[in-house]
């Protein structure tokens, strides 16, 4: 009897791992040719969508994922590959405001304030891409984040009628990068659950025109 249950458990584990691998492969395959590492070859888009993250790491110091996204957005703007930046992030409390923090660093890097728009309700990648289409009226966008995140965002955008390409910010290696990449696997499974159940953003709101 014990052997029987162990075999069933092993079968469930294998089935789960296979499902994770399939979700990962679909997203990676579907976004091939839509992600760019070189600002010289990426097509122009009116708006670059910066996906927010915390500025500081829990253990202290600047979060490199944050810094590299700032660097990537500045590089695209200076190269004339975007005209505006839409910053989408978490504004969950008066003590934590990703969009405002990113805006300050983009302005410090030379992007004029009037060229930066803020989405304070980008609590998840799904919220960010759906609100870019519905609230900010975009039909195309350049997503700015690390490659693994861009793949997921571009795939979600396509499923939500927003044409997107991605500009890959520099990634992180080592144990810190490994932990983030491992968390990406369940996030990709969640993509398909959200699509299956037609999950909506936490908030919508009044339209905002980027011009």
Q: Has residue 53 got a pLDDT over 80?
A: yes
Alpha helix segments (H runs only) across the chain:
2-30, 64-78, 98-108, 125-134, 147-159, 174-196
Average pLDDT, the chain: 93
User: How far are the Cα atoms of 6, 13, 16, 69 from residue 2, in angstroms, in the given order?
Assistant: 6, 17, 21, 51
Q: Has residue 95 got a pLDDT over 80?
A: no
Q: Give the separation between CA 208 and CA 137, rounded to whole angstroms.
A: 7
Q: Give the separation between CA 46 and CA 9, rounded to whole angstroms.
A: 51
More confident residue, 10 or 61: 61
pLDDT digits over 134-191, tens only?
Answer: 999 999 999 999 999 999 999 999 999 999 999 999 999 887 888 888 999 999 999 9
> pTM, whole model, 2 decimals?
0.92
pLDDT digits over 35-47, tens only?
Answer: 999 999 999 999 9
pLDDT score recorded for residue 144: 98
Average pLDDT of 51-62?
90
pLDDT digits over 57-90, tens only?
Answer: 888 899 999 999 999 999 999 999 999 999 999 8
More confident residue, 102 or 17: 102
């Amino acid at each position: 009897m014990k052997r029987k249950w162990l075999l069933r458990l092993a079968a469930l584990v294998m089935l789960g791992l296979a499902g994770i691998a399939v979700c990962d492969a679909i997203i990676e395959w579907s976004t091939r040719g839509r992600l760019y590492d070189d600002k010289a070859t990426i097509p122009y888009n009116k708006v670059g969508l910066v996906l927010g993250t915390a500025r500081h790491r829990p253990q202290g110091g600047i979060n490199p994922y944050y810094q590299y996204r700032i660097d990537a957005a500045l590089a695209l703007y200076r190269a004339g590959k975007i005209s505006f930046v839409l910053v989408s992030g978490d504004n969950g409390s008066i003590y934590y405001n990703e969009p405002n923090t990113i805006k300050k660093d983009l302005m410090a890097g030379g992007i004029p304030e009037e060229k930066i728009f803020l989405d304070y309700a980008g609590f998840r990648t799904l919220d960010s891409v759906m609100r870019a289409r519905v609230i900010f009226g975009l039909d195309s966008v350049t997503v700015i984040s690390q490659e693994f995140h861009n793949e997921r965002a571009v795939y979600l955008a396509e499923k939500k009628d927003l044409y997107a390409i991605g500009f890959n910010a520099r990634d992180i290696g080592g144990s810190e990068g490994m932990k983030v990449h491992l968390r990406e696997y369940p996030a990709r499974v969640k993509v398909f659950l959200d699509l299956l159940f037609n999950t909506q953003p936490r908030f919508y709101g009044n339209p905002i025109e980027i011009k």
